[in-house]
Amino acid sequence: MITVQSILKSKGNKVHHVTPDASVFEALEVMAKHNVGALVVMDGERVVGMISERDYARKVILVGKVSKDTPVRDIMSSSVVHVPPEASVEACMGVMTERRFRHLVVKDGERLCGVISIGDVVKAVIDEQRFTIEQLEGYIAGYV
């Protein structure tokens, strides 16, 4: 079983974040700089929200707001769903599909451990399937 912890071990646990008082423009700059589609919103050590490219498109551009004048707190998603490091990839896929999320925060108790994306989850599943196929091909080749 693949866990979130194994994904973070492979990809790293660097978390890109902004504060609720940062402008949406500043958040977009951080996303562009790190080539990510979402950021954790932190108030000190506490996770208080998430902001994504989707939030920007729907809550700034489509309603005519100005990204340099709009604070992150005005458009962030404040109900952050998180998973523990021991969560299975299957459980994460279920949450992401059901809630229509592309990113999940990983927390161990109150400690922020990382963020995983749907791309990370898909890659982990594909890697596991590839390994299984290789093992089966080796098993079959050894007995044919």
As beta bridge partners, residue 47 has: 42
Q: What digits encode the pLDDT tens for the residues 78-118? A: 989 999 999 999 999 999 999 998 999 999 998 999 999 99
- Whether 76 and 41 have beta carbons less than 8 Å apart is answered as yes
Q: What digits encode the pLDDT tens for the residues 118-134? A: 999 999 999 888 888 88
| Domain housing 131 | 4-143
Q: How confident is the model at residue 144 (pLDDT cuts 50, 70, 90)?
A: low
Q: Residue 116 maps to which CATH number?
A: 3.10.580.10
* 119 vs 117: CA distance, rounded Å: 5
What residue spans of the chain are helical by DSSP H? 4-11, 24-34, 53-56, 89-99, 118-143
Q: What is the pTM of this model?
A: 0.84
Q: Number of structural domains, the chain?
A: 1
Quote the distance between the C-alpha of residue 60 and its chain's center: 21
What does R_g of the chain's alpha carbons equal in angstroms? Answer: 18
